[in-house]
Chains A and B, each alone.
Chain A
Amino acid sequence: MVVKMSAEAVGNTSQELQGEEESRRNQVLRLLSFRNISALYIFVFLFVLFAFWVPDTFLVFTTWKAMIDSQAITAMVAVALVIPVSAGAFDLAIGTEVGLGGILVAWLLSSQGLPIPVAIVLTILAGALIGLGSGLLITKARITTFIATLGVSSILAAMISWVSGGQQILNLGRNFQELAIGTIGPFTYPVYILLIIAAFVWYVLECTQVGRYVYSTGGNPDAARLAGVNTNAVIIGSLMACGAISAAGGILLSASLGTGDPTSGPAYLLPAFSAVFLGSTQFRSGRFNVWGTVVAVIVLATGVKGLQLAGAPVWIPELFNGAALLLAVGLANYERSGARLKVFREKFFGRMRAGRAPA
């Protein structure tokens, strides 16, 4: 056996060099390929399109400033969603988590008269608690993530109506509104809060042991468990983090509106999912990731904004987000089947050729 092994090793040295070289070249190609950064190419396309179509309104800084300010909360919610989705838990309750956060903070401020920091901390804790509930339903009661979070979503919607009485909660105070309106440089606070949260989530998911556990749980829970990962804790933890960040998004939403609005939270569900899935086709070849998601939010918003400026009707954002979600998921599937097809082709034709050579 020893003799055979060494013969193999000799044959492999040239292959090894080739492999290293190939992998480096592939990496550069992979980095710049349409597949890897399609959203950036789409962004350039949209930018050029609207720059020619509606230059007077599109190419103005205030348009962009307003768009970025208004998208900060959407991006925050989408970043929150990246965490459980990476762990394989699709949190359909994320829209109502935002809604409840917004209503809860408003209620604590106006009806209970709590100081702002206390109200904020309590609301974020409530968000984490909701995540804990969803997580327990999934891991302990063994309900599938879709059904568990869908049920939780409905319960939260009921709680929103109950707390608010179906009415907007007014008089949140000037200081609270300052949270969303105040600016540093050109942008409002939420933009910076988003960047801090996104950087933190990115760090945890990409650079730490916890992140590795999250992705392995999402990739193959059985294998992850056998490798010593506490997959239940990962799922619960990811949903808690998602709930907490969503609640923070809700707080900023109420601050920016100046009221606690029972209807605006659930509208974040679809844009968040669209961005997360479109984002997964970016940078990390099929893996859900933070910066891909943030870029996707901006690209989607640019498309919507441009169409609005061009005089498109009010239902355009929903149409655009829905279409983008389907396109993103379709693209991801296509990419996967494409890769599989290539492997098949290599194997099949490669073997046929090898088989014929000696004859």
Chain B
Amino acid sequence: MTIVNSNSDVDRIPLIRASGITKTFPGTRALSDVSLSVGSGEIVAVVGQNGSGKSTFVKILAGIYEMDSGTLEVRGADGEMLSSKQAQDELHFIHQDLGLVSDLSAVENLALGHQAGARALAPRQGRLERRRARELVRGFGCDFDVTTPISKLSPPERTIVAIVRALEGWTRPDNVLVLDEPTAALHGDEVDMLFTAVRRVAENGAGVLFISHRLDEVLGLADRVVAFRDGEVVADERIAGVDEAALVQMIVGREVSEADLDLVPIGGEPILSVRGLSGGRLKSLDLDLRPGEVVGVTGLIGSGREHLAPLVFGSIPRSGEVRLNGEVLPGNRPAYSIRTGVAYVPADRRADGAVMEMSLRENLTLPMLSPLRRGFGRLSRKAELAEARHWIASTEIRPPDPARQLDKFSGGNQQKVVLAKCLRTKPRVLLLDEPTQGVDVGAKAAIYELIANAANAGCAVLVCSSDVKEVRLLSSRVLVLRDGELVAELSKGEASESRVFGASAGVQVG
């Protein structure tokens, strides 16, 4: 874990200087002693896997999180280094989803960034604003109506608006631009347009911090690359001497063979067969799942990985065919899917996984209340409580209070409840989307064990996750998606971390 600092351009004026940044969350150390600097005219790429700490670092830059210790300095207008709050004002961000208000026009989106202050109620100088917006957009070689709502613009035009907004209000050319996975939602030519703009900004003396999963983009755009792993900076090198294989090596590190879960594949005829499944970002996927088998699916954001589980379950519109035990499973009928033995754990438990205001007991039993029904539609409180106790014990939920509101449990325990409520329906197919997102290490291990137990009991499991380690650990077969298509299918033996990560990033690694 040596920090290789081969940044030879000592003459570059540093625009950002972060040193010794440490950040701890309950149960995990997200960042430890991270140091990084970006010079004027320099494009620095930040790479790392999920959970490597790079998004935490960006959130600290953006002021969303506060660091536990360390210093963050950004060069101010007069050349002095500003720290903390003041420093954050000097940073300009383009986020993953571009961060535009889609109902407002380009002009209005640009105006959102301005501090109106005492002029908040003064009439807006519409003509002036419009002309300026048009000029800014033209500066990027574009010409479209700046008064139409963002939602009616094409994706590349939207990207331009986002760039213009981030660059707008630059008092001088040597500001800092932070791009947080800006290309996740973009297509090829839009990416080129974005990069042209970014290069132009850098040539004028700005510093650019570029966070990306896409290694080809990193190699094509950056001057220097900084790799994060397990909350530490493990490499900081000029791009000139780096090729794709070296980049993957930096990100993944030394391959650690982890203790695998005891999985007993039962095999036999596939219980779930999917043909030509498309919808969301996914284009025509075929997939077979056998009882007792755990199949892992991974891929970057936008690869279609995030849509696979809800598509199979039928909670978002789909085309193609899903068969359960030979019978067609209709789409858009969650109740039917559950009844026939398909259970789905959504990625976002707050939004889709559970009713936070209801108690643990009520959440647990919601998908299948019929066994608790007695005369006159009454639900047996006693039977329900007994079931809740049983699942609390078998999934080790803490505190073991069935009446407690779900909101008041920790993330890990909430996730256990969501998993338990699915397991309770005795599924034959278990669809898991990011099963351990926002979960601490202890709960993670417990959840893996529950998944393995379900598989050993004959359940077919599909694990969709952005966490390559997780997919490798759980699965007997790993599918890698990229741009909506299956790009690799690896057996347990073949699925080394670098190979899986390389495939999802579009790089061939032996």
Surface stretch bound by A, among B156-164, B180-188, B355-363: B355-363
Q: Which residue of B has the minimal Cβ distance to A231?
A: B334
Q: Is A115 an interface residue (CB 8 A)?
A: no
CA A261 – CA B38 in complex, angstroms? 76
CA A171 – CA B479 in complex, angstroms? 78
Contacts of A63 in B (CB 8 A): none
Q: Could you tell me if A227 and B367 are in contact, using CB atoms closer than 8 angstroms?
A: yes
Q: Could you tell me if B408 and A212 are in contact, using CB atoms closer than 8 angstroms?
A: no
Q: Could you tell me if A227 and B421 are in contact, using CB atoms closer than 8 angstroms?
A: yes
CA A204 – CA B379 in complex, angstroms? 10
Shortest C-beta distance, A21 to chain B (Å), equals 11
CA A220 – CA B406 in complex, angstroms? 12
The answer to whether residues A219 and B357 also contact, given A228-B338, A228-B367 and a CB cut-off of 8 A, is yes
Q: Could you tell me if A228 and B339 are in contact, using CB atoms closer than 8 angstroms?
A: yes
Q: Is B354 an interface residue (CB 8 A)?
A: yes
Q: Which residue of A has the minimal Cβ distance to B442?
A: A8
Q: Is A230 an interface residue (CB 8 A)?
A: yes
Q: Which residue of B has the minimal Cβ distance to A216?
A: B355
The answer to whether residues A229 and B366 also contact, given A4-B445, A208-B378, A355-B24 and a CB cut-off of 8 A, is yes
Contacts of B367 in A (CB 8 A): 227-228
Q: Could you tell me if A227 and B357 are in contact, using CB atoms closer than 8 angstroms?
A: no
Shortest C-beta distance, A144 to chain B (Å), equals 15
Shortest C-beta distance, A104 to chain B (Å), equals 31
Q: Is B246 an interface residue (CB 8 A)?
A: no
Contacts of B373 in A (CB 8 A): 209
The answer to whether residues A207 and B400 also contact, given A1-B259, A355-B24 and a CB cut-off of 8 A, is no
Q: Could you tell me if B344 and A226 are in contact, using CB atoms closer than 8 angstroms?
A: yes
Q: Could you tell me if A226 and B369 are in contact, using CB atoms closer than 8 angstroms?
A: no
Q: Could you tell me if B352 and A347 are in contact, using CB atoms closer than 8 angstroms?
A: no
Per-residue interface assignment for chain B, residues 166 to 187, with 1 indicating a CB less than 8 Å from any chain A CB and 0 otherwise:
0000000000000000000000
Q: Is A127 an interface residue (CB 8 A)?
A: no
The answer to whether residues A212 and B362 also contact, given A207-B378, A343-B408 and a CB cut-off of 8 A, is yes
The answer to whether residues A19 and B400 also contact, given A220-B355, A351-B26 and a CB cut-off of 8 A, is yes
Shortest C-beta distance, B307 to chain A (Å), equals 14
Q: How many residues of B contact A (CB 8 A)?
A: 49
Per-residue interface assignment for chain B, residues 241 to 281, with 1 indicating a CB less than 8 Å from any chain A CB and 0 otherwise:
00000000000000000010100000000000000000000
The answer to whether residues A219 and B356 also contact, given A224-B366, A227-B338 and a CB cut-off of 8 A, is yes
The answer to whether residues A12 and B352 also contact, given A208-B377, A225-B334 and a CB cut-off of 8 A, is no
Q: Is A222 an interface residue (CB 8 A)?
A: yes
Contacts of B362 in A (CB 8 A): 212, 215-216
Per-residue interface assignment for chain A, residues 286 to 330, with 1 indicating a CB less than 8 Å from any chain B CB and 0 otherwise:
110000000000000000000000000000000000000000000
CA A215 – CA B365 in complex, angstroms? 13
Q: Could you tell me if B399 and A15 are in contact, using CB atoms closer than 8 angstroms?
A: yes
Tell me whether chain A's interface is mostly helix, strand or loop, or mixed: helix
Contacts of B485 in A (CB 8 A): none
Q: Could you tell me if B366 and A230 are in contact, using CB atoms closer than 8 angstroms?
A: no
Q: Could you tell me if B398 and A15 are in contact, using CB atoms closer than 8 angstroms?
A: yes
Q: Is B404 an interface residue (CB 8 A)?
A: yes
Q: Could you tell me if B355 and A224 are in contact, using CB atoms closer than 8 angstroms?
A: yes
Q: Which residue of A has the minimal Cβ distance to B403?
A: A23
CA A215 – CA B354 in complex, angstroms? 12
Q: Is A56 an interface residue (CB 8 A)?
A: no
Q: Could you tell me if A226 and B346 are in contact, using CB atoms closer than 8 angstroms?
A: yes
Contacts of A168 in B (CB 8 A): none
Q: Could you tell me if A229 and B335 are in contact, using CB atoms closer than 8 angstroms?
A: yes
Q: Which of B430-445 contact A (CB under 8 A)?
A: 442, 445
Q: Could you tell me if A230 and B335 are in contact, using CB atoms closer than 8 angstroms?
A: yes
Contacts of A208 in B (CB 8 A): 376-379
Interface centre among B261, B400, B448 (most CB of A within 10 A): B400
Q: Which residue of A has the minimal Cβ distance to B373?
A: A209
Q: Could you tell me if A228 and B358 are in contact, using CB atoms closer than 8 angstroms?
A: no
Shortest C-beta distance, A263 to chain B (Å), equals 38
Q: Could you tell me if A225 and B356 are in contact, using CB atoms closer than 8 angstroms?
A: no
Q: Could you tell me if B335 and A12 are in contact, using CB atoms closer than 8 angstroms?
A: no
Contacts of B351 in A (CB 8 A): 220, 222-223
Q: Could you tell me if B353 and A5 are in contact, using CB atoms closer than 8 angstroms?
A: no
Q: Which residue of A has the minimal Cβ distance to B339?
A: A228
Q: Which of B338, B339, B346, B446 contacts A5 (CB 8 A)?
A: B446
Per-residue interface assignment for chain B, residues 24 to 37, with 1 indicating a CB less than 8 Å from any chain A CB and 0 otherwise:
10100000000000
Interface centre among B362, B399, B403 (most CB of A within 10 A): B399
Q: Could you tell me if B377 and A209 are in contact, using CB atoms closer than 8 angstroms?
A: yes
Q: Which residue of B has the minimal Cβ distance to A355?
A: B24
Per-residue interface assignment for chain A, residues 16 to 32, with 1 indicating a CB less than 8 Å from any chain B CB and 0 otherwise:
10011011000100000
CA A4 – CA B373 in complex, angstroms? 39
The answer to whether residues A212 and B366 also contact, given A1-B261, A351-B26 and a CB cut-off of 8 A, is yes
The answer to whether residues A228 and B399 also contact, given A1-B259, A207-B379, A220-B354 and a CB cut-off of 8 A, is no
CA A224 – CA B421 in complex, angstroms? 12
Q: Is B396 an interface residue (CB 8 A)?
A: yes
Q: Could you tell me if B396 and A8 are in contact, using CB atoms closer than 8 angstroms?
A: yes
Shortest C-beta distance, A282 to chain B (Å), equals 16
Shortest C-beta distance, B189 to chain A (Å), equals 35
Q: Could you tell me if B334 and A228 are in contact, using CB atoms closer than 8 angstroms?
A: yes
Q: Which of B393-421 contact A (CB under 8 A)?
A: 396, 398-401, 403-405, 408, 421
Q: Which residue of A has the minimal Cβ distance to B357?
A: A219
Contacts of A355 in B (CB 8 A): 24
Shortest C-beta distance, A2 to chain B (Å), equals 8
- Contact surface of B with A, Cβ cutoff 8 Å: 24, 26, 259, 261, 313, 315, 334-335, 337-339, 344, 346, 351-358, 362, 365-370, 372-373, 376-379, 396, 398-401, 403-405, 408, 421, 442, 445-446, 448-449
List 11 A-B residue pairs with CB atoms under 8 Å apart, sorted by A's residue number: A1-B259, A16-B399, A20-B400, A203-B378, A207-B377, A208-B377, A219-B357, A220-B356, A222-B352, A228-B337, A339-B408
A15-B398, A212-B365 known; 4 new pairs, CB 8 Å cut-off, are A19-B400, A216-B355, A216-B362, A228-B334
- Contact surface of A with B, Cβ cutoff 8 Å: 1, 4-5, 8-9, 12, 15-16, 19-20, 22-23, 27, 203-204, 207-210, 212, 215-216, 219-220, 222-230, 285-287, 339, 343, 347, 351, 355
